Amino acid sequence: MPWNSDACIVGLGETEYVKQGEMTDRSEFELACEAIENAAGDAGVDIEDVDGFSSYANDRNKGSLVADALGIPEVKFSNKVWGGGGCGGSAAVMNAAMAVESGAAEYVVAYRALCQGQFGRRGQTQGIDYAEGTDAFAHSLGLETPPQMYALPAQRYMHEYDVPQEHLGHVALTSRAHANRNPRAVMSDREMTMEEYMDSPPITDPYKLYDCCLESDGACAVLVTSAENAADLPQPAVEITSAAQGGGPGWGSGVLSSHNMPLEDYPTSNAARVADRLFESAGLTPDDIDVAQLYENFTGMVLMTAEDYGFAPRGEAGELFVDGNAIGPDADLPINTSGGNLSEAYIHGFNLVVEAARQVRGTSPTQVDDVEYSLVASGPGVTPHSGLILSPA
């Protein structure tokens, strides 16, 4: 079924991105408001015209409270996608687009703020007295942090397809090389070699330090409205060509919980069904994509996501990255061109949405020429996975 919406991204907003704990002059809530104001300002839209809010995954910054702080006269739409991790990054934009298309709201902002220095690190756990829901199962088996949980399908994937450690390393090197071109990236001035990657401390086998995403403070947002409104605004409109969210049977919370997914799906990112619908609704194939932002909480998930999206056969996604194949604007398929979660910042992956839109606008620090279709894959290994295809309006 085709994606029946003419909604567009018309504004991009970001705060500065810093290492977790380095944001000391503003609260996470203030960062959320700042990113939203920046998106509206970028779009040339009065902040009081914003009437909808869409976020995801444990966001502490409720739309109603953000609206009050920003002086919004009336909130017509407020929504948050269920699920853990960054699964709802693209889905938040999809929901914003559906709100605009339905007439529920006119200017909807999708956003995410994350200040790990103020609320605790996601990659670290403290002793707990009790656990409930899916945590009760995972924690009883010693799975208390995302690196531990995500290491299991990576081990299975590498075993089934005989994937070498270096293939994970090339994913990390690709993100770092792109971050070195991006002055806003946390790792902008820190180059990395394969030797440094291989010598980095082990975290949880097979993951080393540089296989794991950053822990960051910051916020980002995009403003979504109709094509009719977009025609009167100063920035080039970015069309939401296709959007999809969901997952396969038996996943539940997936990697973040019981690990009882179907065996054939276990060494995957749970993205294949979403990817099929995303391409089908756009009338496109993987070969049509010019640049891709694939959520990297951990390097192994990037390989599995690339395969679920049809960019490589099973077990062969590493070849997309070896020898710098995914680095720079001249790559066959440039991937994670701002540095992504591994080297730009970890804002629950929403910075990947901003970068995908920048590529369509032509304003990325690693700009790919003549981008017609820019793809985002958000939050692998959980449900809902979500994805976007963006293009010039």
| 75, 91, 86, 385: CA torsion to nearest 10 | 150
> What whole-number distance in Å separates Cα of residue 229 and Cα of residue 238?
12
Dihedral of the alpha carbons of 7, 97, 26, 185, in degrees to the nearest 10: -60
339 three-state secondary structure: coil
Long-range (24+ apart) CB contacts under 8 A made by 132-135 are: 133/257, 134/252, 134/253, 134/256, 134/257, 134/258, 135/257
DSSP class of 125: -
Say if residues 124 and 145 touch (Cβ distance below 8 Å).
yes
| DSSP character string of 175-242 | HHHHHTT-TTSTTTT----HHHHHHSPEEETTEEGGGBPP-EEEEEEEEEE-HHHHTTSSSPPEEEEE
Name which of 259, 209, 236 is nearest 390 in CA terms: 236
8 Å CB contact between 309 and 375: yes
Report strand pairing: 52-56 vs 77-81.
Answer: parallel
First to last CA, the chain: 21
Closest CA to 209 of 190, 224, 223: 190
Active site residues: 295, 346
- DSSP 3-state percent helix, strand, coil across the chain (nearest 5): 40, 20, 45
